[in-house]
């Protein structure tokens, strides 16, 4: 455990339904400072919706989200204040297509934080260096590989100095040979003590960085626990089945190859 | 034959003055359409249903009537009824501009909607307000996408400008008609008018092509010549 185990993110009884379909049915968990939670589960189980409910890109029907002791749901404060502190990385990158890598990283600093342009540029360059892309700073998204795009999007989120990072299947849209470079960056973040919630199908990655793995199905938490326990000795038959299916589908993950 | 050339040569300054009026007219109308069209498009995409319905009604009205009907309705009808004492040029700019706003709003709406939803989501996830996201993320992309459609609107409004003949605006065609009726030589004169229109269409569309290339995002989109490779 981390020495400073203050709760950074707390999710309480989140419910969300789209018309007839109940996507989330009472999800609760908390993330302490420096922890990495990995969320796994079959597609359509509500993982992405859950992440979006955390930063209110999707408004949950019921339930609360707390960030560093402040309630994000039902708040008088602007949601934009909270979102700055919750960096989000999307499956399909969502880089701003009309500006180059550097511009993507600095735009939040300039337009949201109101940082002076020169300082924003410096900080953005630094973040790009962190993800190994300072040489690509002036390339546009369309000129970058998928792995590079995802690293830029990580840098963009990190530049805002978030308290927690939310990763929504960050490697699912990547060619197999590009997955490694992105996972490497995320791993480095974990080692450096970033607090993270990661939705992924990369079991090897989950095994090596997660403090806790949460298995979600049909909008409910079925199983949760430290990776060694969940992967070797899952409590539920359903978890076992999912894990064997995932290994069958995805093969061994990058780390295990 | 020589007579014809002489007639064209002598009429040219008079007709060219008319083309300046035409340019003023379409410049004003396109600008008015642009200034109104962009916020209308934003309102239609991001506004609540009342705003969106109001804009739809506007678009339905101005797209649904022939330009000549609009011109008469406003110039001889509404403007006079309201006691506005407008010159033919101002009235024509207003009518063509209000009408162009309806068309332009749909050009911009289409391009705003073609910018991926993920762009807005990513902007909001950084803590950007919706308005800032529209301004700094969505519009810069949407406006680029709308240049080809907008160039269409330019050429359409240029040609539509000739109907202002009906309210006596002394643009190219009105002037051509003056000369033609005075000299009984319609063919060379109207050919000259046609040539001026063709040149203006070509020039404007060309300029917009240059703009399109100039603001093209590196590596993005398949326009220009890359389509030839498939």
- What tens digit of pLDDT does each residue of A17-49 get? 998 889 999 999 999 999 999 999 988 888 999
A161 CB within 8 Å of a chain B CB: no
How do residues A65-93 score in pLDDT, each as one tens digit? 999 999 999 888 889 999 999 999 999 99
Find the closest chain B residue to A55 by CA distance. B125
Q: pLDDT grade, residue B3 (50/70/90)?
A: confident
Cβ distance A97 to B217 less than 8 Å, yes or no, reads yes
Return the biggest CA–CA distance within chain A: 56
Residue of A1, A14, A51, A4 lying closest to A226 (CA atoms): A1
Rounded (5°) CA angle A190-A195-A198: 75
Q: What region, left, alpha or beta, does residue B89 occupy, with left being phi > 0 and alpha being psi -120 to 50 degrees?
A: alpha
For residue B115, pLDDT beyond 50: yes
Q: pLDDT grade, residue A1 (50/70/90)?
A: very low
Give the pLDDT score at A254: 47
Give the pLDDT score at B180: 85
Q: Which of A209-223, A242-256, B79-93 has the lowest mean pLDDT?
A: A242-256
How do residues B207-216 score in pLDDT, each as one tens digit? 999 999 999 9
Mutate to test the interface with A, among B111, B115, B125 (most CBs of A within 10 A): B125
How do residues A112-149 score in pLDDT, each as one tens digit? 999 999 999 999 999 999 999 999 999 999 999 999 99
Question: Quick check: A44 and A217 in contact, CB under 8 A?
Answer: no
* Nearest neighbour of B218 by CB, restricted to A55, A96, A142: A142
Whole-model pTM: value is 0.89
pLDDT (mean) for A205-210: 90
Give the pLDDT score at A251: 60
Q: pLDDT grade, residue A250 (50/70/90)?
A: low
Sheet holding A21-32, edge to edge: A21-32, A7-18, A62-67, A70-71
d(CA A60, CA A73): 9
A160 CB within 8 Å of a chain B CB: yes
Residues 6+ apart with CB under 8 A from A249: none
Residue of A29, A62, A12, A42 lying closest to A217 (CA atoms): A42
Residue of A136, A120, A118 lying closest to A128 (CA atoms): A136
Total residues found in chain A within this entry: 257
d(CA A100, CA A85): 23
Partner A, chain B 119-158, Cβ-Cβ below 8 Å: 119, 121-129, 132, 136-137, 140-141, 144
Question: Quick check: B174 and B13 in contact, CB under 8 A?
Answer: no
Q: Which residue would you say has higher pLDDT here, B9 or A196? A: A196
Question: Quick check: A16 and A42 in contact, CB under 8 A?
Answer: no
Q: Mean pLDDT, chain B, as a whole number?
A: 91
Predicted-complex ipTM score: 0.91
Q: Report in angstroms the alpha-carbon separations of B164 from A6, A37, B19, B173.
A: 73, 69, 13, 9
The CA dihedral of B24, B28, B33, B35, to the nearest 10 degrees, is: 140
Question: Quick check: A73 and A64 in contact, CB under 8 A?
Answer: yes
Give the pLDDT score at B67: 94
Q: pLDDT grade, residue A241 (50/70/90)?
A: confident
A27 bridge partner residues: A14
For residue A2, pLDDT beyond 60: no
Place of tokens 């109001």: B54
B220 CB within 8 Å of a chain A CB: yes
Give the pLDDT score at A257: 44
pLDDT > 90 fraction of chain A, expressed in percent and rounded? 76
Chain B residues with CB under 8 Å of A153 CB are: 122
A156: enclosing H helix or E strand: helix A146-159
d(CA A237, CA A226): 17
Q: Which of A216-230, B9-23, B69-83, B133-147 has the highest mean pLDDT?
A: B133-147
Give the pLDDT score at B14: 87
Chain A residues with CB under 8 Å of B124 CB are: 57, 83
Give the pLDDT score at B189: 86
Helix (H, G, I), strand (E, B) or coil at A36: strand
Beta strands in chain A (DSSP E): 7-18, 21-32, 36-40, 62-67, 70-71, 86-89, 164-168, 196-199, 212-217, 220-225
Give the pLDDT score at B140: 96
Give the pLDDT score at B5: 83
pLDDT (mean) for B140-153: 95
pLDDT (mean) for A230-236: 83
Looking at residue B230, what DSSP letter applies?
-
Residue B92 has, within 13 A of its CA and on its CB side, a CA count of: 25
Please give the structure tokens belonging to residue A49.
Answer: 């919706």
Cβ distance B127 to A97 less than 8 Å, yes or no, reads no
């Amino acid at each position: 455990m981390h020495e400073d185990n203050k709760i950074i993110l707390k999710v309480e009884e989140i419910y969300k339904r789209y018309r007839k379909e109940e996507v989330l049915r009472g999800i609760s968990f908390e993330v302490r400072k420096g922890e990495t939670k990995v969320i796994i589960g079959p597609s359509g189980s509500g993982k992405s919706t859950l992440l979006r409910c955390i930063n209110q890109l999707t408004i949950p029907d019921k339930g609360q989200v707390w960030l560093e002791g402040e309630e994000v749901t039902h708040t008088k404060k602007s949601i934009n204040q909270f979102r700055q502190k919750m960096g989000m990385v999307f499956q399909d990158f969502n880089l701003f297509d009309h500006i180059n890598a550097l511009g993507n990283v600095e735009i939040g600093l300039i337009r949201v934080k109101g940082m002076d342009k020169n300082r924003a540029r410096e900080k953005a360059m630094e973040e790009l260096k962190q993800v190994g892309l300072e040489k690509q700073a002036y390339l546009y998204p369309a000129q970058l590989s998928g792995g590079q795009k995802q690293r830029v999007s990580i840098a963009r989120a990190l530049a805002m100095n978030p308290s927690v990072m939310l990763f929504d299947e960050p490697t699912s849209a990547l060619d197999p040979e590009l997955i490694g470079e992105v996972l490497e960056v995320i791993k480095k973040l974990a080692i450096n003590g970033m607090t993270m919630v990661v939705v992924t199908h990369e079991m090897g990655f989950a095994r090596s960085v997660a403090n806790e793995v949460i298995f979600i199905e049909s909008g409910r938490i079925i199983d949760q626990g430290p990776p060694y326990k969940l992967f070797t000795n899952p409590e539920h038959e359903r978890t076992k089945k999912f894990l064997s299916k995932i290994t069958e589908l995805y093969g061994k993950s990058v780390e295990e190859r | 034959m020589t007579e014809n050339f002489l007639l064209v040569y002598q009429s040219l300054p008079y007709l060219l003055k008319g083309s300046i009026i035409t340019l003023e007219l379409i410049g004003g109308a396109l600008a008015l359409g642009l200034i109104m069209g962009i916020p209308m498009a934003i309102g239609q995409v991001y506004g609540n249903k009342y705003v969106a319905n109001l804009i739809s009604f506007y678009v339905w009205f101005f797209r649904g009537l022939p330009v000549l009907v609009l011109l008469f309705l406003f110039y001889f009808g509404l403007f006079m009824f309201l006691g506005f004492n407008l010159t033919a040029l101002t009235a024509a700019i207003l009518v063509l501009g209000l009408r162009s706003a309806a068309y332009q709003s749909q050009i911009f709406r289409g391009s705003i909607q073609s910018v991926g939803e993920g762009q807005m989501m990513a902007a909001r996830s950084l803590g950007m307000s919706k308005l800032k996201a529209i301004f700094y993320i969505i519009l810069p992309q949407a406006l680029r996408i709308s240049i080809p459609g907008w160039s269409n609107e330019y050429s359409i409004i240029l040609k539509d400008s000739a109907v202002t003949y009906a309210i006596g605006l002394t643009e190219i065609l009105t002037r051509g008609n003056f000369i033609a009726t005075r000299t009984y030589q319609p063919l060379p004169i109207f050919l000259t008018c046609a040539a001026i229109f063709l040149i203006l269409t070509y020039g404007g569309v060309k300029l917009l092509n240059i703009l399109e290339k100039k603001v093209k995002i590196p590596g993005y989109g398949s326009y220009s010549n890359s389509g030839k490779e498939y």
